[in-house]
A and B are shown apart, each in its own frame.
Chain A
Amino acid sequence: MLTEPVTYQDPCNISRNGGLAKQGRELVKALCTDFRDMRDNGDYNHCCGGGGGYIPMGPPFKRRRMESGRVKAEQIRETGAKTVIVPCHNCIDQIRDLNKEYDLGIKAVHFKTIIPHMMIIPDDMKHEEESE
């Protein structure tokens, strides 16, 4: 279990345009003890500022991407979270960039980065030396 404050980024394609805001939250709550939702969360969440192909558009758009990402940076800062769970490759790149740009002091991770460390491993999948 994560014990430090955790927040959750609702990617537009997953929450507003995917209808999975609730499921995402349930999963986050199962993984941490101090979950803090952002203001404007769920279906109402703001885009990370890197969506719609903004990140792959590359360096010519970087400065504008950082400027317009201010809203997301503020949203994250307000929660006081140390870890942001981000189930989207696009959002995670943007949030890591924002972390540097706005000095947020956070770690952005995917679900799949943390779940393997927390899941219960069935006995038959453990190697001998580990089960000793």
Chain B
Amino acid sequence: MAEAAVDTTEDQTVDTKVIKERLDLLKGGRFKMWLEICAHCGLCADSCFFYLAHDKDPKYMPSHKVMKTLGELYDKKGEVDRATLKEMAEVVYGDCTACRRCSMFCPFGIDIATMIAAGRGICCSQDLHPDGLKAAIQNYKDTGNQMAMSSEDFVETCEWMAEETEEELKGLEIPIDKQGARIMYTVNAREPKFYPQDIAEAAMIFHAARENWTMPSNGWDDTNLAMFAGDGKTMTAQVKLVYDAAERLGAENIGITE
């Protein structure tokens, strides 16, 4: 058993009412069908790198991970204590990256990763998502990006990079908030924060290709750690921020970084 990595606090409360509401909300046609028809055939096992990396330890096989988390939550109608929920959180956050490879190997085409994501949503509703994601979510809420960068800092970083890179490519600019561009380019917040060179490199490619592009001063972070945490509200707000920027600027496409 790996060491516990989520929720090291002493909190012992669980709001089963919220869990029940969420379970009920989730249980559309798809989930109902998937939970019912899984034939427990085991074909998903070999598709999972967690399973393979742990020398085929069956506890890492995809369908088992779902049965032990979301499946059990439905079986118990949401009546679980915090210790059980913590164990589930270790599985949904620590034993699956929701890569969706198993869906390609399920004879019934059950979207296993989507059910893991649903499990994350329930853990998140009880504040059981990992601390690293909690911090990022707070930053999204405060600043619209996971690194808590201010709009001024971002724009300054871009200007600085444009200045440096112009030495290599004549006429290079990093257009901020330009109207009507063909591509509104967005980045991972780690780029302006830690690897500004990445933005310069993208700018060089756009410039050499004579692309009509821009970056928004607000709504430029295309990552969505809230989605990974299972925080639907922040996830939606973050996506909306980027789309609103594209609409505001009348951009034809949203480009996302590598």
Q: Which residues of A approach B to under 8 Å, CB–CB?
A: 12, 16-17, 43-47, 49-54, 56-58, 60-61, 63-64, 67-72, 86-89, 110-113, 115-116, 119-122, 124-127
Contact = CB atoms under 8 A, between A and B. Distances in A.
A124 B167 CA distance: 13
A91 B49 CA distance: 15
Contacts of A16: 99-101, 104
B41 interface: no
Q: Interface SS of chain A: helix, strand, loop or mixed? A: loop
B170 A127 contact: yes
A57 B132 contact: yes
Nearest to B103: A16
Could you say which of A57, A61, A113 has the most chain B C-beta atoms within 10 Å of its C-beta?
A: A57
A89 B131 contact: no
B104 to A, nearest CB: 7
A92 to B, nearest CB: 8
A72 B49 CA distance: 8
A17 B244 CA distance: 24
Contacts of A51: 97-99
Contact of B93 (A57, A120, A121): A57
B45 interface: no
A14 to B, nearest CB: 8
B99 A52 contact: yes
Contacts of A52: 96-99, 228
A73 B11 CA distance: 38
